[in-house]
Structure 1
């Protein structure tokens, strides 16, 4: 019996882990949130930025001192929505608007179907997401998120 288990464990099918995961480190998550807030501040927008891991669990939250109180939770929800869907929240907004059969996505607890959430990817894999809230529209929030991700792109490899 022991020999059979040993042979099975050493076989190529069981001896290799077919799932490789890259994790977003907390320090990098904080940097991304800080960069997103700073980028929006340059344009005169007082925002909050949240960064989650691949599962949508909060790693970092930065709120510009002049940002409205509601922006902290909105940014977290946008990041959660993007991480769990593995897509930008602006794409979800378009999908919901163009297809009434998926309008129920807006009712998922914790989801915020507004532009401003962007997945953080390494290759095709999503390792986290950033959500920004507080600019005059979600497209501007998303721009700040994308710029922050682009700034750290080389550190994601």
Structure 2
């Protein structure tokens, strides 16, 4: 019984994503190939370093991961006293933000409110805790930044947003 509930939940989420976000993108294009924008490695590293700097100003020792629009790690920095868990947690937060096309603080609230079931947290690599923030360029997803190590997801999220602000002008096309 439990297995079918998990399957139904994942199917429901897939249906929601397909019907609400993914399907229109496919329906609008009949072309065999698509093109998309991605951050350069230099911009990804600049974002990671700016985010680390924002956390340091708040006296937080963190790890910062930047992934591309497909969830693949582009850059990572870890402050010298950040916890051993921060590399994996930061990457998972960034991966979750691009995978679900939603910031992880919002996903955390949806799980807490019951709008998304707790079972969604069982998806491999999903981290439904604040600190994973999408990076958008002219409204298009180009990646995400994940932060781990500040005292709480809200603080991680704040650092991520401050880091994104420092490079946002370079992303507009």
Q: Is TM > 0.5 for Structure 1 vs Structure 2?
A: yes
1:92 to 2:116 alignment? no
Displacement of 1:71? 0.8
Q: Which residue pairs with 2:82 in the alignment?
A: 67
* Cα distance between partner residues in 2 of 1:135 and 1:89: 15
* Cα distance between partner residues in 2 of 1:46 and 1:128: 23
Q: Which residue pairs with 1:45 in the alignment?
A: 60
Q: CA RMSD in A?
A: 1.7
* Cα distance between partner residues in 2 of 1:150 and 1:135: 19
* Cα distance between partner residues in 2 of 1:130 and 1:18: 27
* Cα distance between partner residues in 2 of 1:154 and 1:97: 34
Q: What does 1:135-150 align with in structure 2 at a 5 Å threshold?
A: 135-150=150-165
Q: Tell me the number of residue pairs that the alignment of Structure 1 and Structure 2 aligns.
A: 144
Deviation string, structure 1 residues 81-112 (Cα, Å, up to 9, x no partner): 00111111000001111116522220110111
> Under a length normalisation based on structure 1, what TM-score does the superposition of the two structures give?
0.86
1:25 to 2:40 alignment? yes
Runs of 4+ in 1 over 6 A off after TM superposition: none
> Under a length normalisation based on structure 2, what TM-score does the superposition of the two structures give?
0.78
* Cα distance between partner residues in 1 of 2:35 and 2:168: 19
Larger Rg: 1
SS in 1 for 2:95: helix
Q: Which residue pairs with 1:79 in the alignment?
A: 94
* Cα distance between partner residues in 2 of 1:123 and 1:50: 22
1:102 to 2:121 alignment? no
* Cα distance between partner residues in 1 of 2:49 and 2:158: 14
